[in-house]
Amino acid sequence: MAKKSFIEANSISFSYPSYDGVIPPLVLDGVSVSVDEREFVAVLGHNGSGKSTLAKHFNAILVPTEGNVSVSGISTAEEAKLFEIRQEVGMVFQNPDNQIVATIIEEDVAFALENLGVPPMEIRERVDDALKKVEMYDYRLHSPNQLSGGQKQRIAIAGIVAMRPKCVVLDEPTAMLDPRGRREVMKTIRQLNKELGITVIIITHYMDEAAMCDRVVVVDDGKVIMDSTPREVFGSVELIKERGLDVPQVTELCYELKKEGFDLPECVLDEDECVAALEKLLKGGENNG
């Protein structure tokens, strides 16, 4: 490859430090992934597969024991450039309660900028801007305790967006939310990618969230086992199931129907597609009968 990708992980391995002389197992075992700018990538994998550990390598929270990760050409092992990297690649975690620092929403969104030493006037501007982008501007003077989970998670996203990063890594951002909160947050995340052109890497358990990404990376046992478009990844239903993962409900429905001999397209990803395919099938059936 001539041009370097935005984030590049070259055969990285990682294990947590050992204690009591026990050699810990490798959490990541020779993983190579590269993410281009403006991509929308989902990372799938069941618990303990190493997907969160992988995510933490993208902004130098963890540094690989072997191999190397580079962000915009800067190696994450370079300590002097740490803040540069973290400014480019922001990270949002699962529990919104545990990432909000301040008692007032707008002060929390300002937190990263204050740390970076941005002049006060500019902080104000960027905070308002970030709050508007996640549609939480009206809540700027509220206390985090007055907000719902989805709203809190959007505040956490705003806190990252205010840094104006090129990439946001989200570690199961919807896992603790109710369906409504999930919808809100996913909508915000999609907007980040589609409207602001921010690279999004989302780690998730929800297959329907993964289905709407551009690319799906499946991690199992510290290795990347699949890395392709959702259509291709979820097309291999058997392989996914073998790894203890699921495919979106609609995909599974169509897959099972197809197995029973119904004439359906190869891989169906979202509800609209599924409805269209089934409609076509039923109408076709009527015509024949």
Partner 1 sequence: MLKDITFGQYFPGDSIIHKLDPRMKLILIIAYIVLLFVADGLFSLLIGASMVVVFYALSKLPWKLVIKCIKPIMPIILFTAVLNIFFVEGDPIFEWWIISISGKGVLTAVLMCIRIICLIAGSSLLTYTTTPIALTDGLERLMKPLQKIKVPVHELSMMMTIALRFIPTLIDETQKIMAAQKARGADMESGNVIEKAKALIPILIPLFVSAFRRADELALAMECRCYHGGEGRTRMKQLKLTAKDWAAALFVLCGYAAVILMNVYGPEVFRL
Nearest approach, Cβ of 73 to partner 1 (angstroms)? 20
The size of the interface with partner 1 (CB under 8 A), counted in residues, is: 40
Q: By C-beta, is 200 or 218 nearer to partner 1?
A: 200
- Provide the 10 A C-beta neighbour count for residue 156: 27
Residue 198 binding partner 1, by CB under 8 A: no
Nearest approach, Cβ of 120 to partner 1 (angstroms)? 5
Nearest approach, Cβ of 123 to partner 1 (angstroms)? 4
Of 48, 115, 275, 280, the residue at the interface with partner 1 (CB under 8 A) is 115
Q: By C-beta, is 131 or 277 nearer to partner 1?
A: 131
64: three-class secondary structure by DSSP? coil
Nearest approach, Cβ of 77 to partner 1 (angstroms)? 16
- Provide the 10 A C-beta neighbour count for residue 246: 19
Residue range at the interface with partner 1 (CB under 8 A); choices 20-28, 153-161, 193-201, 207-215: 153-161
Residue 91 binding partner 1, by CB under 8 A: yes
Residue 282 binding partner 1, by CB under 8 A: no
Residue 196 binding partner 1, by CB under 8 A: no
* Sequence-ordered list of residues with C-beta below 8 angstroms from that of 114, at least 6 positions apart, any chain: 123
Helices and strands (H, E) in the chain, number of each type: 11, 10
The string of DSSP letters for 217-276 reads: EEEETTEEEEEE-HHHHHH-HHHHHHTT----HHHHHHHHHHHTT----S---SHHHHHH
Interaction with partner 1 in 46-75: which residues (CB under 8 A)? Answer: 59, 61
CA distance 206 to 180: 14
Nearest approach, Cβ of 90 to partner 1 (angstroms)? 7
Q: Identify any residues that bridge with 74 across adjacent strands, giving them in sequence order.
A: 71
Residue 87 binding partner 1, by CB under 8 A: yes
Single out the residue of 235, 233, 237, 236 nearest to residue 224, CA to CA. 233
Single out the residue of 171, 193, 215, 153 nearest to residue 62, CA to CA. 171
Residue 98 binding partner 1, by CB under 8 A: yes
Structure tokens, 254: 């169509």
Residue range at the interface with partner 1 (CB under 8 A); choices 20-28, 69-77, 121-129, 192-200: 121-129
Of 35, 44, 54, 118, the residue at the interface with partner 1 (CB under 8 A) is 118
CA distance 268 to 82: 42
Residues that bind partner 1 (CB under 8 A): 59, 61, 83, 86-87, 90-91, 93, 95, 97-104, 106-107, 110-120, 123-124, 127, 143-145, 156, 159-160, 163
